Amino acid sequence: MSLEPSTIQGEAVILNAQRIERCIQRIARQLLEDHHSAERVVISAIDGQGTVLAKRIAEALRSISKHEVVRCTLVLDKDAPLDHPVRIVDENNNDFDTALIQGSVAVVVDDVLNSGRTLLHAVAHLLPFRPHHVGTCVLVDRIHRRFPVRADYVGKSLSTNLKAHIDVRLSGPGVDEAVLMD
């Protein structure tokens, strides 16, 4: 199996299932290395493909550490985050106990970092709950920021043109992949 990007019908596969899994394992190990003394790690997903990615990172982290790993999802409107309230829900889609964020390491997870707006709003929403540390994690960083946000944990950095779109496919049907589309 080739690990190099392949092009299929105007799409370039930039991460296949095997490489995505390696990225997830590497990110989990980096989190453990950076926060080895933390008592609790809260993996906070951005609703959508970020939720699937966060679940996999949390599972990987649980398998290699003794940390308490808690997962939640930030439900927000990515196109107009200031116009709609942000909800934090647990794995069962119930209101999340935000007291779990206080004093924890909180990591906001999304599939693609493009402008930085979504991650910025997500981080800002977590700050009132007083985490000890906040980090950001993405599978693909496009490096097209309009806002002062960077990802602390990145699966793949990719410089693309502004018209290109990256589609992360993690929740089936079909195989896991990240695809660049013009």
Over the stretch 132-178, which tens digit does the pLDDT of each residue have? 999 999 999 988 778 888 999 999 998 877 777 788 998 767 789 99
Higher pLDDT, 166 or 5: 166
- Average pLDDT, integer, range 52-61: 96
75 part of a folded domain: yes
Give the separation between CA 26 and CA 40, rounded to whole angstroms.
19
118 part of a folded domain: yes
Which pLDDT value is given to residue 80? 83
Specify the pTM.
0.89
Q: Is the separation of the CB atoms in 105 and 131 below 8 Å?
A: yes
Q: Say if 2 falls within a structural domain.
A: no
Q: What is the pLDDT of residue 148?
A: 85
Q: Is residue 44 part of a domain?
A: yes
Burial of 83 (0-12, 13-18, 19+ CB in 10 A): exposed
Task: Say if 1 falls within a structural domain.
Answer: no
pLDDT the model gives residue 1: 39
Domain count for the chain, please give it.
Answer: 1
What's the rounded Cα separation, in Å, for the pair 140 and 147? 17
Is residue 119 domain-resident? yes
Residue-level length of the chain: 182
CATH number of the domain enclosing 73: 3.40.50.2020
Which H or E run contains 57? Answer: helix 49-64
Residue range of the domain that includes 24: 9-181
Q: What are the CA-CA distances from residue 32 to residues 26, 61, 85 (Å)?
A: 10, 7, 32
108 vs 21: CA distance, rounded Å: 19
Pairing of strands 177-181, 165-169: antiparallel
Of the listed ranges 9-23, 25-39, 51-65, the least confidently predicted one is: 9-23
Q: Which tokens hold the place of 106? A: 């909180």
Q: State mean pLDDT over 34-45.
A: 96
% the chain with pLDDT above 70 = 95
